[in-house]
Amino acid sequence: MKSFKTTLIFLIVELSFVLPTPNSAVITCYHLVGNSWEKAQVVENASTHQIKEICNESDEQKQCVEVKGSVKILYEDSFKGIPKLSEIEVYSETNLEEIEPGTFTDLPKLDILDLSGNNLQEIKSGTFVNLKVQHLILQRNSISLLREGAFVNLSDVQKLSLERNNLQELKRGVFQELYVVQLEFGSNNISKIEVGTFASVFPRDEGGIILNLSNNSFTEIDASVFDYKYSVYALMLAKNSISILRPGDLRNLPNLKYVLLSENKLKEVPEGVFNGSKIVSIELDNNEISFIGSKAFDDMKDLTFVNISNNKLKEWNNDWFCGEGAKVIRLSYNYLETIPVEAFTNIPGGSMLKLDHNRIQSISDSAFKNVTYLDSIDLSYNEIQEWNVDLMRNVKTDGAVDLNGNKIKCPESGSNSLAPKARIVYLSYSCPQVIEKALYFSDEV
Ligand SMILES: *[C@@H]1O[C@H](CO)[C@@H](O)[C@H](O)[C@H]1NC(C)=O
Ligand SMILES: *[C@@H]1O[C@H](CO)[C@@H](O)[C@H](O)[C@H]1NC(C)=O
Ligand SMILES: *[C@@H]1O[C@H](CO)[C@@H](O)[C@H](O)[C@H]1NC(C)=O
Ligand SMILES: *[C@@H]1O[C@H](CO)[C@@H](O)[C@H](O)[C@H]1NC(C)=O
Ligand SMILES: *[C@@H]1O[C@H](CO)[C@@H](O)[C@H](O)[C@H]1NC(C)=O
Ligand SMILES: *[C@@H]1O[C@H](CO)[C@@H](O)[C@H](O)[C@H]1NC(C)=O
Ligand SMILES: *[C@@H]1O[C@H](CO)[C@@H](O)[C@H](O)[C@H]1NC(C)=O
Ligand SMILES: *[C@@H]1O[C@H](CO)[C@@H](O)[C@H](O)[C@H]1NC(C)=O
Ligand SMILES: *[C@@H]1O[C@H](CO)[C@@H](O)[C@H](O)[C@H]1NC(C)=O
């Protein structure tokens, strides 16, 4: 497959000099010979009715047809009589507008159907009925309408991509009997999913489904939409207009592991949205969050990554990140001003803390009480003036303590004196004379 892609890149370069006449295509056939695709036929000015003659069935195991040029319609007979066809690519500049239902029947070996970059506006009922493809790629068209039964019984489809179209709503009855790994709906204008839309969409394996709804127009997460229990494991909702998260919004997604909510309009993260779940990673960066409930991330034994950078948090809460397991905690670019008494006492050992680019002026003398081991802590680009040399006396780190970009008095005895058990303390950007010395290398730990 790899070598085919390579061939294709060269081919596109080659063909860019051939300007096809309107309503005619450049049809290229490939055969799989051993492990690589070999170009078998290239015919210019062809009609899609001729594909069968051009890509004559051969003894090869698999065949591929690439159609470029100007093709408005794919007809019912376009791909008939090529039973070994395993890939069809009709894409870019082809301006395909219509597919007659029945075009893709009798293609038992078809794995990949790629219709990217065309001008399709709707998908009719039964267009892909009983197709056994693994990848059905419809991205970069102008699809605004999916008819009832548009995607029925695609029993082998792993990835269905409708990314970059003009969809506004997903409706019930469009997706039936699908067993998928990945559903791509990113970069449309979807603001609504009808209840029941995913009622007969099932995960292909135990891992669950990746559901990409990023770069759309959602304003909330409607829990009742996700009635396909135990299935979604990655929910991507970055770049929407979600302004509210409510307790229970994710209640129908008990297998969720990755949640992407970057670049929305969230102001608060209350308790009861994430706590108690199996989520591993939560990305909440680039919102307007100024409040996070004390127990918002409680009882999450798998949580290892939280990104809340680029928000409006002013106050650190000691109870945010309790619980077992080292975590990567990113709070860069917020408005934190003080690090209070026992702030990090509850942080699990081995965690990585990113607190750079806040407005931290003071750090309580007991901020690190009972903390003995961190991966690293980044306090760079804050407004720290006083650094108590006893603050991190007992804190060992595998990585760096970054104190650059503050107003700390440069220590004559080298940067290590500020955190004697840290592997290295970065300060030389602010204090060019200071000696930074790594105590040991991380792989010796
Ligand atoms: C394709 O059509 C154009 C215009 O009709 C013609 O000039 C050209 O020779 C044709 N190419 C082939 C390979 O038939
Ligand atoms: C298919 O190819 C064979 C030889 O490879 C040829 O004899 C036959 O005419 C071709 N059929 C069509 C429909 O082009
Ligand atoms: C789906 O396909 C299976 C076998 O491929 C068939 O038995 C079944 O009737 C089909 N269902 C629908 C709704 O088309
Ligand atoms: C999800 O969709 C967005 C928007 O179209 C896209 O930028 C992103 O690459 C997609 N992510 C994945 C993992 O497919
Ligand atoms: C978001 O979607 C718009 C149109 O739907 C598109 O132009 C833009 O490139 C997309 N942005 C990303 C980051 O995918
Ligand atoms: C997105 O959809 C809304 C209706 O939900 C519509 O008012 C708006 O014009 C659409 N935006 C684009 C860019 O198509
Ligand atoms: C999560 O938060 C809600 C609301 O505060 C609370 O009722 C619930 O007991 C919490 N669940 C877990 C598992 O911590
Ligand atoms: C966390 O969010 C910041 C701010 O948007 C972003 O720059 C960074 O790449 C994110 N980090 C990770 C590891 O996702
Ligand atoms: C700190 O550790 C001591 C001894 O291990 C323990 O008694 C104390 O409760 C801990 N303090 C906090 C705030 O966890």
HEC string of 327-341? CEEECCCCCCCEECC
Mean pLDDT in residue range 264-276: 95
Atom of ligand 7 at shortest distance to CA of 272?
2
- Is 370 touching ligand 9 by the criterion CB < 6 Å? yes
**Which residue in 123, 113, 118 sits closest to 170, CA to CA?**
123
The span from the CA of 61 to the CA of 84, in Å, is 7
- Is 264 touching ligand 8 by the criterion CB < 6 Å? no
**Which residue in 84, 65, 76 sits closest to 104, CA to CA?**
76
| Residue given tokens 């720290």 in the structure block | 384
Q: Is the pLDDT of residue 20 over 60?
A: no
Q: In percent, how much of the chain has pLDDT > 90?
A: 60
- Is 208 touching ligand 4 by the criterion CB < 6 Å? no
Pocket of ligand 1 (CB under 6 A): 21, 44-45
The span from the CA of 227 to the CA of 195, in Å, is 8
Q: Is the pLDDT of residue 59 over 90?
A: no
Distance from the alpha carbon of residue 117 to the mean position of ligand 5, in angstroms = 14
Backbone angles phi and psi of 398, in degrees to 5: -80, -30
Distance from the alpha carbon of residue 347 to the mean position of ligand 9, in angstroms = 13
Element (H, E) at 2: helix 2-15
Q: Please count the CA atoms within 13 angstroms of the CA of 219 that sit on its side-chain side.
A: 3
Q: How far is CA 440 from the centre of its chain?
A: 36
Distance from the alpha carbon of residue 39 to the mean position of ligand 2, in angstroms = 17
Distance from the alpha carbon of residue 94 to the mean position of ligand 2, in angstroms = 27
Q: Is the pLDDT of residue 289 over 50?
A: yes
Mean pLDDT in residue range 235-257: 95
- Is 356 touching ligand 8 by the criterion CB < 6 Å? no
Residue closest via CA to ligand 8's atom 10 equals 307
The whole-number pLDDT of residue 68 equals 85
Residue closest via CA to ligand 1's atom 5 equals 21
- Is 240 touching ligand 5 by the criterion CB < 6 Å? no
Q: Is the pLDDT of residue 36 over 50?
A: yes
The whole-number pLDDT of residue 229 equals 60
Which of the four pLDDT bands, split at 50, 70 and 90, describes residue 438? confident
Do 111 and 131 touch, CB atoms closer than 8 A?
no
pTM here is 0.89
Per-residue tokens: 243: 């302004």
The whole-number pLDDT of residue 101 equals 81
Considering the chain, what is the average pLDDT of its residues? 88
Using left for φ > 0, alpha for ψ between -120 and 50, and beta otherwise, residue 333 falls in left
The span from the CA of 228 to the CA of 248, in Å, is 16
Which of the four pLDDT bands, split at 50, 70 and 90, describes residue 361? very high
Which of the four pLDDT bands, split at 50, 70 and 90, describes residue 94? low
Distance from the alpha carbon of residue 285 to the mean position of ligand 8, in angstroms = 7
